[in-house]
Amino acid sequence: MKLRNLLILAVVATVVGCKAPPPKMTDDTLVTSEINGVTLTHRYAVSAPKEFTPVNASFRALYAGSIMSKPDFGGKVVSTLDNGQSYTVLGQVENNWLAVAQQDKQEMLGYVPARALVKSELYAQTLKKDRPRPRKATKKTTCVAVDGSSKACQNANSGTWIID
């Protein structure tokens, strides 16, 4: 009788101590993190930032670039920026990087360097400013005084001298 009670007690203790296995986390599993009082939703492959300053503004990509899993170039590429595409910048994180999301969505895609994006209202002005400007050709004239009251100048194209 004592052996039966001991066996039942051992089985009950074993069953009570068992827990369901945790759900398997894949790179695409959505997780939430709270940083500086702000809750961020992101994929499991994207690490949560250590610092976060909310921005919540519309930005546009200046060039096609990589969206990284960590706010530095040591992370994995999780997606790419499309040139000229609009994104929502959720906030600024460490290393002066930006946490980005799809336009009008709150799920964080990853991190990009601050130089990759510009505020939407400044996009056209930034592109115009970045264009190469044509240089003015400087005309170099060589003139010398002749006989005190006149001068002679050399033509830069032909090399001939003209007396005024």
**Domain regions of the chain by residue span:** 30-128
CA 42 remoteness from chain centre: 16
Look at the pTM and tell me if it is higher than 0.85: no
Element at 12 (helix H, strand E): helix 2-17
Task: Return the amino acid letter for 31.
Answer: V
In 3D space, the residue among 10, 28, 88 whose CA is nearest the CA of residue 55 turns out to be: 88
Q: Which CATH architecture has domain 30-128?
A: Roll (2.30)
Measured distance CA(154)–CA(79) in Å, rounded: 61
Per-residue confidence of the chain (164 residues) as pLDDT tens digits?
Answer: 677 777 777 776 676 666 666 678 888 888 999 998 889 999 999 999 999 999 999 999 999 999 999 999 999 999 999 999 999 999 999 999 999 999 888 899 999 999 999 999 988 888 888 777 777 766 677 888 887 788 888 887 777 888 87
Torsion of CA 135, 138, 139, 144, to 10 degrees: 180
The answer to whether 46 and 88 are in contact (CB under 8 A) is no
